[in-house]
Amino acid sequence: MNRITALPFIPTAQLNESPMSLLRRAAIGNGYTNLLSLLHSLSPNIDHSVGMIGYVARNPTLYKSLCEKLGITDGCRRRVSYKRTGNGREDSVLWQGLEVQIGDLQFSTEKVCIPCYLEKGYTIADWEHFAAIGCPKHQVFLDTSCPVCKTPWSYEQVPLTCGCDPETALSLVRPLHKNRAALLTKIVKGNNQQKILVLSNLRRLFEWWSQLSVHLSQAEQSDYLYHLMTGKWPKLEQDKNAFGVHPRILFLPLLSASDSGTQLLIKKLLEVKTINLRNLNIEFSFITRKDAELLLGISRARFNNFIKQGLVHRDIAGKFDLQQINHLLLISKWLPFNSEKELLWKNNRSIASHFSVAALVKKDVENTPLPAHHSTRSIPSLSQQSILTLCDATHILQANAESIRHLIKIGLIKATKGTQVSAVQWSIKKEELQSFNQKYVFASAIAREINLPVTTTSSRLQSLGLLPISGPGVDKGKTYLFARSDLNSVSNEILINRPYKSPAGRKRINDMSSSATTLTSQQVARELHLDTYQIRFVVRDGWITGSKNSKGHYLFRASDVDNLADKINNDYIDLDRAKDYTDQSIQSFRRTWIISGLVDEYKLGNRRLIKNADLLVVQRLWINNKTSTHIAKQIGRQRSFCINLEKIGLLKPTLIIGKKEKKIKLYPDNHPIYQCYSISS
């Protein structure tokens, strides 16, 4: 690159000068009004956006070429320019002899110590770090705008050129304690790489806290940084009347830090039980699954169990309520940096022996949580409903729909036909279901609480002399039903640990020969209602594992098949049955709920399944909301009817599911505008 000739002023790098300050002095000294005008004249690829200043500062090759064009010597350039470090993409910068992340150096605004600038006439590199707060020499805060007229400063123009009196600006600088002002400078002079990483990580906390409604002033930031660097909390800055949260939530950005200094510091800071900060609010905060697992310190598989147990709830966007995560942390016995990284939850099998089996299963209909797959804010709670659907009952009683239909037919559950969704669906009064739930309990509900298969639980209960009220061999019911009064005498320990003999005559697996414990593909296909050739796809998709005999045919353990059959019957419903709950075709149901991403579809051979919990969510959304196609069909219009009304401002969607080409809009079911355009008979 050729140098620009006849420049009247070529700057010389000063002690500890910022690289952009050197170029700015070249611009002003040669008659340019601002730095970007000079950079654009040297390289047309550099536009006038403020982000270009940081791009030039962090790009050593580009910075070198600009200095060569200006006639700045290599010695001056090397004295101020940064170097890129790190493997692969070189995403770190060598700043003041320390390795920092690119984002740690900020160029969108300029921080200046007014006394230093008036003395030297240039800005120093220390002020570029986003953790720089004060000047150790003059013990004052760094300013980002003129203290007189509040005009913001940037690297594009020289500070204090707003026309205000420099002496007046100097008199308005704010004093800062020397320990706070010298925090960053001591780290730089000591060339302490570990502490600069810790300081940068702590500075990032303030961005996370601002999302939790905690906005700190510059003075508060300096106090917090100084105290947190020593592993102590500034007690005076806490508010006892504020909302208390577990310390792990406030330190979420630091939990994934890899450097040893931050890990040791966090271990020390987490000794506090709860933290109360002024204005702290996590009520409407949601986090990703990765962050939720990080906060709880558990694996993905363990977190899936939390979802199934209803301990955490996911909204439609797939995020989790931070308030629920905080509650789990506060009620658990947490050991920071436990080697297993597990919450010490009580296992269901270790519940005290004097607890009866009946006490393990919830009796309260109103307090039964909604399915953990979705947020409770978008769906009405059970306590607000007086009439429940069959799908509500399956969730509350923890049984499949066929079993509940059977109990309705024999009169144990009182129900009537007709709901807001369909005239053929069952509706159950909440009081009736509450009364039933206080008297009876399904074996499937007990099995989930004690973490045993349903068939094993039923066999153990019957071997103890308990007679089922309903079930197979009693009244052709699908699932065994027991009276809670009979279960009061059976403890959890006895049910799990006492040897038993199956009433059906089948021995326990340990007492059976290997040939008696295996089933062929034909037998498994009959159990799962599939064609025999579909079993290999069931194995391929991970539903069940099998072994091959000498002829290459699959053999399966009978217990595995029983567990899978129970899981399918209790937790899933076929898609061709699920669509009937919304009066949609299979194609419309898949387009509205599955392709849009609200509901997951599962393949079991040639069967297409969705979870019962997901169907409950669909039903509740469908009560008062419909698709444009469904509404148009009811009033005799084209399927684009609602979309056209929305374009002219006469209708608005109540819910939008999915994104981009998968987006589905739901509109209010009963809107007065529909009657004006109805042409159906």
Q: Are residues 202 and 320 in the same domain?
A: no
Query: For residue 576, what pLDDT band results from cuts at 50, 70 and 90?
Result: confident
Q: Which of 88, 147, 74, 86 is nearest to 115 (CA)?
A: 147
The band of 632, judged by pLDDT with boundaries at 50, 70 and 90, is: confident
Q: Residue 19 and residue 82: Cα distance in Å, rounded?
A: 8
Q: 170 vs 613, which has greater pLDDT?
A: 170
Asked whether residue 35 is assigned to any structural domain, the reply reads yes
Under the banding of pLDDT at 50, 70 and 90, the label for residue 3 is: low
Q: Is residue 268 part of a domain?
A: yes
- Cα 594 to Cα 600: distance, rounded to the nearest angstrom: 6
Query: Is residue 504 a part of any domain in this protein?
Result: no
Same domain, 97 and 213: no
296, 313, 331: which is the final residue of a domain? 331
Which of residues 331, 347, 366 is at a domain's end? Answer: 331
Arithmetic mean of pLDDT, 332-351: 37
CA distance linking residue 170 with residue 143, whole number of Å: 11
Q: Which two tokens stand for residue 117?
A: 């600038």
Confidence at residue 493, expressed as pLDDT on a 0 to 100 scale: 66
Q: pLDDT tens for residues 371-391?
A: 433 333 333 444 456 778 777
Asked whether residue 264 is assigned to any structural domain, the reply reads yes
Contact between 665 and 592 (Cβ < 8 Å): no
Q: Are residues 176 and 203 in the same domain?
A: no
How many domains is the chain partitioned into structurally? Answer: 6
Give Cβ neighbours of residue 104 (< 8 Å, ≥ 6 apart). Answer: 93, 95, 129, 130, 131, 200
pLDDT surpassing 80 at residue 180 = yes
Reported as a single tens digit per residue, the pLDDT across 202-250 is 888 888 888 887 888 888 888 888 888 877 766 544 555 555 678 888 8
Question: Are 479 and 403 a contacting pair, CB within 8 Å?
Answer: yes
SS3 243: coil
Q: By C-alpha distance, which of 126, 230, 239 is closest to 179?
A: 230
- Classify residue 352: in a domain, yes or no: no
Say if 502 falls within a structural domain.
Answer: no
Of the candidate ranges 153-162, 433-442, 497-506, 577-586, the one whose mean pLDDT is the lowest = 497-506
Same domain, 486 and 396: yes
The pLDDT assigned to 274 comes to: 63
**Is the residue at 503 inside a domain?**
no
Query: Residue 47's domain spans which residues?
Result: 19-180
Residues 493 and 606 in one domain: no
3-state secondary structure of 286: strand
**Could you tell me if 590 and 612 lie in one domain?**
yes
Number of H helices, E strands in the chain: 33, 23
Question: What is the CATH classification number for the domain harbouring 527?
Answer: 1.10.1660.10
Q: Is residue 163 part of a domain?
A: yes
Residue 616: predicted pLDDT: 83
Same domain, 590 and 614: yes
Same domain, residue pair 23 and 170: yes
Of 572, 606, 621, which residue constitutes the final position of a domain? 572
Residues 610 and 550 in one domain: no
Residue 97 pLDDT greater than 60, yes or no? yes
Mean pLDDT over residues 52-56, rounded?
Answer: 85
Q: Are residues 301 and 263 in the same domain?
A: no
pLDDT number for residue 588: 87
Query: Mind spelling out the 3-state secondary structure of 615-654?
Result: HHHHHHHHHHEEEHHHHHHHHCCCCCHHHHHHHCCCCCCC
Q: Are residues 216 and 296 in the same domain?
A: no
* Summary mean pLDDT of the chain: 79
Please check whether residues 374 and 424 belong to one and the same domain.
yes
Q: How far is CA 317 from CA 289, 313, 653, in A?
A: 11, 11, 17
Cut 0.75: pTM above it: no
